[in-house]
Amino acid sequence: MKFPQNWCCMLLLAMLCLLAMTEARRKAKNACKYKKTKESDCDPATNVKTITQVLKKGDSTCPPTVTESKPCGAGVEKKRKNKKACKYEKSGAAWTECDESGYKKKTMKLKAGSSADCEPTQIKQKACGSNKKKKNPRKGCVYDKMPWSVCNVETKTKQREMILIKGDSTQCLPKKIVTKQCKRACRYQRDRWSPCDPVTRQKQRVLLPKNNSSLECQPTVETQACHVRAELTAPKPNKCRYKMSPWSDCDPRSNTMSQVMTLKSGDPNVCQRSKKLSKKCKVACKFRRGEWSECDELTQLATRVDSLIKGSPSQCDSSRQITKKCRRLCKYTFGEWGECDPVTNHRTRVKKLVEGDKGECPAEDMVTKPCGKKDGGERCFFGPWGEFGPCTNGVMTKNRPVKQGGVDCERKAVVAKACDGQGL
| CB neighbours of residue 182 within 10 Å | 15
pLDDT digit string (tens) for 186-215?
778 888 899 988 888 899 999 888 876 666
Cβ–Cβ < 8 Å for 299, 273 = no
- Spatial distance between the Cα atoms of 69 and 62, rounded to a whole number of angstroms: 20
- Spatial distance between the Cα atoms of 112 and 13, rounded to a whole number of angstroms: 62
pLDDT digit string (tens) for 308-356?
888 777 778 888 899 988 876 778 888 888 888 878 888 888 888 888 7
Q: Coil, strand, or helix at residue 356?
A: coil
Sorting pLDDT into bands at 50, 70 and 90, what band is 6?
A: low
Q: Is residue 250 exposed (0-12), middle (13-18) or buried (19+ Cβ within 10 Å)?
A: buried
Cβ–Cβ < 8 Å for 424, 416 = yes
Q: Coil, strand, or helix at residue 5?
A: helix
Question: Which of 5-9, 24-28, 377-381, 417-421: highest mean pLDDT?
Answer: 377-381
Question: In the chain, what percentage of residues exceed pLDDT 70?
Answer: 85
- Taking Cα atoms as reference points, which of 48, 69, 47, 65 lies closest to residue 56? 65
- Taking Cα atoms as reference points, which of 299, 291, 357 lies closest to residue 325? 299
pLDDT at 260 over 90: yes
pLDDT at 393 over 90: no
Question: Average pLDDT in the 68-89 region?
Answer: 64
What is the pTM assigned to this prediction?
0.23
First to last CA, the chain: 116
Which residues have C-beta within 8 Å of that of residue 57, sequence separation ≥ 6? Answer: 31, 32, 33
Cβ–Cβ < 8 Å for 86, 108 = no
Question: Which of 83-97, 127-141, 403-417: highest mean pLDDT?
Answer: 403-417
CA dihedral (265, 268, 274, 275) positive or negative: negative
- Spatial distance between the Cα atoms of 332 and 355, rounded to a whole number of angstroms: 7
Which residues have C-beta within 8 Å of that of residue 7, sequence separation ≥ 6? Answer: none
Question: Across the chain, what does the average pLDDT equal?
Answer: 80
